[in-house]
Amino acid sequence: MATSWGAAFFVLVASCVCSTVFHRDQQTWFEGVFLSSMCPVNVSASTLYGIMFDAGSTGTRIHVYTFVQKIPGQLPFLEGEIFDSVKPGLSAFVDQPKQGAESVQELLEVAKDSIPRSHWKRTPVVLKATAGLRLLPEEKAQALLFEVKEIFKKSPFLVPDDSVSIMDGSYEGILAWVTVNFLTGQLHSHSQETVGTLDLGGASTQITFLPQFEKTLEQTPRDYLTSFEMFNSTYKLYTHSYLGFGLKAARLATLGALETEGIDGHTFRSACLPRWLEAEWIFGGVKYQYGGNQEAGAVGFEPCYAEVLRVVQGKLHQPDEVQRSSFYAFSYYYDRAVDTDMIDYEKGGVLKVEDFERKAREVCDNLENFTSGSPFLCMDLSYITALLKDGFGFAGSTILQSTGAYVLHCKPVGSHQEGSRVRWLKAQARAPA
């Protein structure tokens, strides 16, 4: 999946303001993550902490947040964050759940070093697993979560009843959308002029936006729409999570390796890889042998694009409205744009969909000469291009603002100081590729 940094930020904010900001007369998708009773009785001028674990398909990340709420009943602001991560993700320990939980224990030490001891007992700790665990058999996923919960119980932190769980894919998209629009100030204006979000993780991908045209609502499958009330406004979002369409799952699909369980001795080959390449890759606890297509002329952008196109063509819903909407793209969209110098790591940038295609052509048509830390770069860029154009239906000229963890290339929210804080959070919280 895609990372759950949206959940990591927003549910912690919601933990102390849901009773005053959100309408509680209906069941909402974030209820039960944290309880309002966890908040200090005296919230005036209070410093609050929260610990969120994002258990993704490629790694486990910890976010230790510091919030300050100066005025009761108003939203606290995010003062700072400590971020760290370990690899591989929990799903790699599918048959060693205790060992997987030990990786979480390692990150808990980061929280203990970051939070004053006096606040430990009232600081909630939560782990939300994403697509990596959703792909596992139910009993194996639950065994991993059970061991993590045992680790939490032994910690000095506050452990809610539902502290460890697998997050539904659609919730990831919703929480990411809320977070981006909250941090850019869109949710405070009540104008419903919002931006859409595109999240590309390792095992799944999400698209979320607020439709402006009745035609979109009429032509959208019912399970792609969700309605909720927040900040005294009603939002009816288009959101969907595509399991198996994350960047690394797409690599397996492109290689034709999804149904093979990494057969010993079999090498999966692709026109997207350097002809000379012979290597192995472990994903989800399974080892795969892979390499380049050694036939003459069988490498480069065109044959590679034909391979990745089979992964997405005709398999995703294409709402027409996306071509007229503004979107922020993050996670692997951001990582691959940074890797190829299309945007700056610190400043981010604005790209068109066709920029990914242009870079994919450049990389794929020069595979023998292109130096990169990842042999999958050609495949990844080609897949991103196909996902955006042939999957979601974006036009090549569609403009995307690329963001790392929170908000990149955004206008300051309120004061200059707040805008600077958002940019600092983006740089510090960016999950490793």
Task: Determine the Cα–Cα distance for residues 72 and 11; give it in Å rounded to an integer.
Answer: 18
Question: Could you give the 3-state DSSP secondary structure of residue 401?
Answer: strand
Global pTM?
0.75
**Comparison of pLDDT for 185 and 255, the residue scoring more:** 255
Q: Which of 15-24, 199-208, 316-325 has the lowest mean pLDDT?
A: 15-24
320, 321, 322, 323: CA torsion to nearest 10: 80
The Cα 252–Cα 288 span in angstroms is 9
Q: Across the beta sheet with 77-86, what order do the strands follow?
A: 77-86, 60-69, 46-55, 125-129, 164-166
Tokens of 274: 């350097």
Q: Under 8 Å CB-to-CB from 422, ≥6 apart: which residues?
A: 183, 406, 407, 410, 412, 413
Return d(Cα 163, Cα 152) in angstroms, integer. 9
Contact 206, 329 (CB under 8 A): no
* 54-103 pLDDT, tens digit each: 888 778 989 898 888 777 766 667 778 888 889 888 988 989 999 999 99
| pLDDT for res 4 | 40
Instruction: Report the DSSP beta bridge partners of residue 66.
Output: 49, 80
pLDDT at 374: 83
Least confident of 188-197, 215-224, 338-347: 188-197
What is the per-residue pLDDT across 166-183, written as a single tens digit (0 to 9) for each?
887 778 888 888 888 877
Following DSSP, what letter does each residue of 132-194 receive, concatenated? HHHTS-HHHHHHHHHHHHHHHHHSSSB--TT-EEEPPHHHHHHHHHHHHHHHTTGGGSSS---
The tens digit of pLDDT for each residue in 94-135 reads 899 999 999 999 999 999 999 999 999 999 999 988 877 888
**Residues forming the active site:** 172
C-beta of residue 176 within 8 angstroms of C-beta of residue 10: no
Residue 87 is predicted with a pLDDT of 87
In Å, how far from its chain's centre is CA 359?
23
CA torsion sign, 354 to 349 to 62 to 32?
A: negative
Average pLDDT across the chain, whole number? 78
Residues 276-333 pLDDT 10s: 888 988 877 788 899 988 776 678 999 999 999 999 999 999 999 998 888 999 889 9
Confidence of residue 3 (pLDDT cuts 50, 70, 90): very low
**Which residues, at least 6 apart from 236, have a Cβ–Cβ distance to it below 8 Å?**
210, 211, 217, 225, 226, 227
The answer on pLDDT for 210 being more than 50 is: yes
Q: How many residues does the chain have?
A: 433
User: pLDDT by residue (tens digit) across 390-425?
Assistant: 999 999 888 888 755 433 222 222 322 233 233 333
